[in-house]
């Protein structure tokens, strides 16, 4: 069996990482008289980001998003609530300083970020003039901090989990009072995923 650290196939790594970074998705209604499905579904890192974008595109705004300090996100659509709980590898507390720096390069690139392949070295992310090395790229994908398909030339963007983790890391390092975290995390998600005006 080939380990991910030796694999040069980023598409396969994205698929493998999904099992540890995908969100568990619960749907319920705030009205106790309405029965909802008791099935737990999964949502990939990219799908979770799309769900938030879609909700915010409807004009619902900040009041429709709640985020806990461990990264669970609740989306409000009328009386229905969709709760997204991050996979074990996508918990905000796992984001390292190096990964945070790489995410800031990806998010701050004026020309965008994309997947590239260097023969003999593997897949990397190019963010403007910066190249995130293959080992760092693998770590970003493994934790679900980056949303990408893994194909050469495709976009690489900070994922929903990455946005929450970056904000979580900032709040912790700035010693912001923990009772303010939920609002700050929700605001960061809305800022990152709201449609452009």
In tens, the pLDDT along 103-121 reads: 999 999 888 899 998 888 8
Residue 68 has pLDDT above 60, yes or no: yes
38 phi/psi in degrees, rounded to 5: -100, 10
Distance between CA atoms of residues 44 and 181, nearest Å: 24
Indicate the range of 8-12, 54-58, 129-133, 186-190 predicted with least confidence. Answer: 8-12
The b-or-e profile of 176-187 (16+ CB within 10 A means b, else e) is eeeeebeebbbe
| Predicted confidence (pLDDT) at residue 2 exceeds the cutoff of 80 | no
The domain locations on the chain are 10-15+91-161
**What confidence category does residue 49 fall into, taking pLDDT thresholds of 50, 70 and 90?**
confident
**Section 27-39 average pLDDT:** 66
Residue 122 reports pLDDT greater than 70:
yes
Q: Is the pLDDT at 196 greater than 80, yes or no?
A: no
Mean pLDDT, the chain, whole residue set: 83
Span 7-34, average pLDDT: 67
DSSP class of residue 16 equals H
Model pLDDT, residue 39: 61
Average pLDDT on 60-74 reads 84
* Phi/psi of residue 39, nearest 5 degrees: -80, 145
- What is the per-residue DSSP string for 101-167? HHHHHHHH-TT-EEEEEETTTEEEEEETTEEE-HHHHHHHHHTT-EE----TT-B-EE-HHHHHHHH
Burial (CB < 10 A; 0-12, 13-18, 19+), residue 194, is middle
End-to-end CA gap in the chain: 48
**What number is the average pLDDT over the span 25-44?**
70
- Residues of the chain above pLDDT 90, percent: 33
| Residue-level pLDDT at 131 | 94
* Cα 17-21-26 angle, rounded to 5 deg: 140
């Amino acid at each position: 069996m080939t380990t991910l650290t030796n694999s040069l196939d980023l598409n396969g790594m994205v698929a493998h990482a999904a099992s540890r970074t995908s969100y568990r998705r619960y749907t319920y209604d705030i009205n106790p008289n309405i029965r909802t499905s008791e099935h737990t579904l999964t949502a990939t890192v990219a799908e979770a980001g799309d769900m938030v974008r879609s909700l915010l595109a409807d004009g619902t705004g900040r009041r429709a998003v709640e985020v806990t300090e461990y990264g669970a996100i609740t989306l409000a659509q009328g009386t229905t609530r969709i709760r997204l709980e991050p996979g074990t590898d996508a918990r905000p507390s796992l984001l390292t300083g190096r990964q945070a720096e790489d995410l800031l390069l990806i998010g701050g690139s004026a020309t965008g970020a994309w997947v590239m392949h260097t023969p003999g070295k593997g897949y990397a992310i190019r963010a403007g003039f910066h190249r995130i090395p293959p080992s760092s790229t693998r770590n970003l994908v493994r934790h679900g901090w980056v949303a990408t398909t893994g194909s050469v030339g495709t976009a690489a963007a900070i994922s929903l989990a990455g946005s929450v983790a970056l904000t979580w890391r900032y709040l912790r390092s700035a010693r912001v009072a923990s009772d303010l975290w939920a609002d700050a995390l929700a605001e960061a998600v809305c800022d990152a995923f709201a449609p452009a005006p």
